[in-house]
Structure 1
Amino acid sequence: MSKKKMHRPSGTPALHAAQAAGLEYALVEVQHSEHQEGGYALDTARVLERDPSTIFKTLMAKVDGDPVCAVVPASGMLNLKALARAVGGKKACMMQAQDAERLTGYVTGGISPLGQRTSSPIVIDESARELPTVLVSGGRRDLSIDVSPMDLAAAVRAHFAPIADAGRHT
């Protein structure tokens, strides 16, 4: 990937983590619609006129009571059973928003797989492997990072698994 590293003087923890990992990425600032029908990730796709399958949302879940981070396309829905299988667990449920915010240090809609306050296993939907880059949160609702999914996975020690159901939205 031949993107130029872009730096901000006062970056988010996600940007600091990306820089510390030596990731090549591009920053994308997003002016969201007044009403985010379908959530921030789908709104980002609409505003940027980009295929929603290339915009990935970061969702926090619990598998057998332990936190797990799932990164899935905006065009799909997290399959909780598949997420549980992907980390060797039995039962998964979505984490409450306030618990996700406390654990990650980010606000809902701006949770990034990079630079979370407390690390947890990260699973990226396997559809990302087919893409040259994916857009993930840069740690704020209005800031995203365009990055190679393979580089992202290496930086956050994630693995790929089929955890999204296409065409349905979380």
Structure 2
Amino acid sequence: MSIESARAHLARFGREGDVIETSGSSATVELAAAELGVEPARIAKTLAFYGAEEGTSILVVAAGDVRVDNAAFKRTFGLKARMLRTEDVERLTGHAPGGVCPFANPEVASVHLDESLHRFGTLFPAVGNAASAIELSPQEISEVAGAIGWVSVTKVPADRV
């Protein structure tokens, strides 16, 4: 199961004991924020896109209140932002929909962190299923996830500025 692989990944960093398992679903930003008692922006959502090569994915970890800026995504990755179809999510990320996270991903997935994360001291990414999270700083997310690097591919919607 996905939470077990994510927990095993976190164990390599001594963080497996920090996993928070919620009593209700945390499959969306709003549900996760309610379960954890934090503002939605502090939920570190992992967005999953098709990569440039067949059978690869690009995972972008971003603050919960932002949206993908398609032009910035194309400038950064050289391709149009296409979210993974439900039937491809688990195969290309290692996790089922609602639990996609930047931990314990297959080799075909590359993890990138969006600059929007820097607005917060700590955030809450999922840990492999739709009822889990862990509180980490942006730097800790980078280290634990083995992220390729930082990108700027999102924007805060006008109605939230």
Question: TM-score band (shorter)?
Answer: 0.7 to 0.9
Q: What is the rounded CA distance, in whole Å, between the counterparts of 2:140 and 2:19 in structure 1?
A: 15
Query: Which residue of structure 2 lines up, in the alignment, with residue 14 of structure 1?
Result: 6
Structure 2, gaps ≥5 residues long:
none
| TM-score, structure 2 as length reference | 0.81
Counting matched residue pairs gives 154
Indicate yes or no: 2:61 matched with 1:71: yes
| Higher deviation after alignment, 142-151 or 24-33 | 24-33
Post-superposition CA distance 1:140-169 (Å, at most 9, x none): 10011111211221232322222222138x
Query: Which residue of structure 2 lines up, in the alignment, with residue 133 of structure 1?
Result: 122
Letter in 2 for 1:61: F
Query: For the structure 1 residues 130 and 75, does the alpha-carbon distance in structure 2 shift closer, same or farther, using more than 3 Å as the test?
Result: closer
| TM-score, structure 1 as length reference | 0.77
Query: Which residue of structure 1 lines up, in the alignment, with residue 152 of structure 2?
Result: 162
Indicate yes or no: 2:19 matched with 1:30: no
Indicate yes or no: 2:68 matched with 1:55: no
CA contact (8 A) 1:80 1:93 kept: no
Q: What is the rounded CA distance, in whole Å, between the counterparts of 1:82 and 1:56 in structure 2?
A: 19
Q: Which protein is richer in strand relative to its size?
A: 1
Q: What is the rounded CA distance, in whole Å, between the counterparts of 1:60 and 1:144 in structure 2?
A: 17
Q: What is the rounded CA distance, in whole Å, between the counterparts of 1:57 and 1:46 in structure 2?
A: 14
Query: For the structure 1 residues 32 and 131, does the alpha-carbon distance in structure 2 shift closer, same or farther, using more than 3 Å as the test?
Result: same
Q: What is the rounded CA distance, in whole Å, between the counterparts of 1:137 and 1:162 in structure 2?
A: 21
Query: Which residue of structure 1 lines up, in the alignment, with residue 95 of structure 2?
Result: 106
SS at match of 2:41: helix
CA contact (8 A) 2:73 2:79 kept: no
CA deviation after TM superposition for structure 1 residue 112, in Å: 1.1
CA contact (8 A) 1:63 1:84 kept: no
SS at match of 2:99: coil
Q: What is the rounded CA distance, in whole Å, between the counterparts of 1:144 and 1:41 in structure 2?
A: 11
Query: Which residue of structure 1 lines up, in the alignment, with residue 33 of structure 2?
Result: 45
Q: Which protein is richer in helix relative to its size?
A: 2
| Percent of paired sites with the same residue | 24
CA contact (8 A) 1:25 1:145 kept: no
Structure 1, gaps ≥5 residues long:
1-10
Query: For the structure 1 residues 163 and 24, does the alpha-carbon distance in structure 2 shift closer, same or farther, using more than 3 Å as the test?
Result: farther
Q: Give the RMSD, CA atoms, in angstroms.
A: 2.5
Query: Which residue of structure 1 lines up, in the alignment, with residue 142 of structure 2?
Result: 153
Query: Which residue of structure 2 lines up, in the alignment, with residue 6 of structure 1?
Result: none
Query: For the structure 1 residues 25 and 163, does the alpha-carbon distance in structure 2 shift closer, same or farther, using more than 3 Å as the test?
Result: farther
